[in-house]
Amino acid sequence: MTTDRSLTSLSKYLSLVLRHEPERIGITLDDAGWTDVDALLAQCTAAGRPLDRSTLQRIVDSSDKQRFAFNANATRIRANQGHSVTVDLGLVPVEPPAMLYHGTAEHALPSILVSGLNRGVRHHVHLSESFGTATAVGRRNGAPVLLQVAAGRMHAQGHQFYRSDNGVWLCDAVPPSFIEVLR
Ligand code: HQG
């Protein structure tokens, strides 16, 4: 029986290979980020992370943030967002809510208040609709700080926003004038 802890570990490993380093296990992603499920199972197993189809299905179904998606006939799989490798997820610009939230670590704040939020190695800056999610994201890197982003005002001024299949809001950058620190 695969434990929850080993499912989480495998899920993190899948995030690594489906978002950042497919070459690590000798798989390739197509232009939209999809890879062949059978190849993924075989190559994970060959790399010392045994993975079968039913376990993969459990990971996809149980992912708290719906990080992964199968295509219609479940022969291919991709990460829904978070890539550093070049992929075109086919995201369509949409109007965001008035406010979105970003959790970061206290130590990043001085830099963010000067240069705004940058996408870093990822394709986009990641924003969420809820305080709770944003705070949990920030906590990964240290004492969390919650930032409120005036997404509606940004959009009105021509900044584009996208929403991934798993509900993460994405944009290219957030200038400091749209950021308020919530204390
Ligand atoms: C920070 C997780 C200094 C930014 C989450 C963040 C998310 C700056 C870090 C997804 C900065 C980048 C992404 C600046 C931004 N100066 N620091 N100018 N601009 N930063 O992990 O948004 O669990 O690449 O605040 O749920 O934290 O992986 O981005 O702290 O959706 O599915 O630079 O990762 O999803 O860190 O997290 P990350 P993120 P998963």
* Tens digits of residue pLDDT in 46-71: 999 999 999 999 999 998 889 999 99
Q: With bands split at pLDDT 50, 70 and 90, how would you rate the model's confidence at 32?
A: very high
Tokens of 73: 């006939």
Question: CATH topology of 4-79 equal to that of 100-181?
Answer: no
CA of 102 to the centre of ligand 1 (A): 8
Domain ranges (residues) in the chain: 4-79, 100-181
Longest Cα–Cα distance in the chain: 53
Spell out which residues line ligand 1, taking CB within 6 angstroms. Answer: 15, 65, 67, 82, 104-105, 108, 111-112, 115, 117-118, 120, 122, 126, 137, 141, 168
Q: What is the CATH number of domain 100-181?
A: 3.20.170.30
Residue nearest to atom 5 of ligand 1 (CA): 137
Domain 4-79 architecture: Orthogonal Bundle (1.10)
Q: Is the pLDDT of residue 1 over 60?
A: no
* DSSP state letters, the chain: ---HHHHHHHHHHHHIIIII-GGGGT----TTS-EEHHHHHHHHHHTT----HHHHHHHHHH-TT--EEE-TTSSEEEESS---S---------PPPS-EEEEEEGGGHHHHHHH-B--TTSSSEEEBS-HHHHHHHHHTTSSEEEEEE-HHHHHHTT--EEE-TTS-EEES-B-GGGEEEE-
Residue nearest to atom 35 of ligand 1 (CA): 82
Over residues 79-96, mean pLDDT = 96
The atom number, within ligand 1, closest to the CA of 133 reads 26
The full 3-state SS of 13-40, as one line of letters, equals: HHHHHHHHCHHHHCCCCCCCCCEEHHHH
The atom number, within ligand 1, closest to the CA of 15 reads 28
pTM above 0.75, yes or no: yes
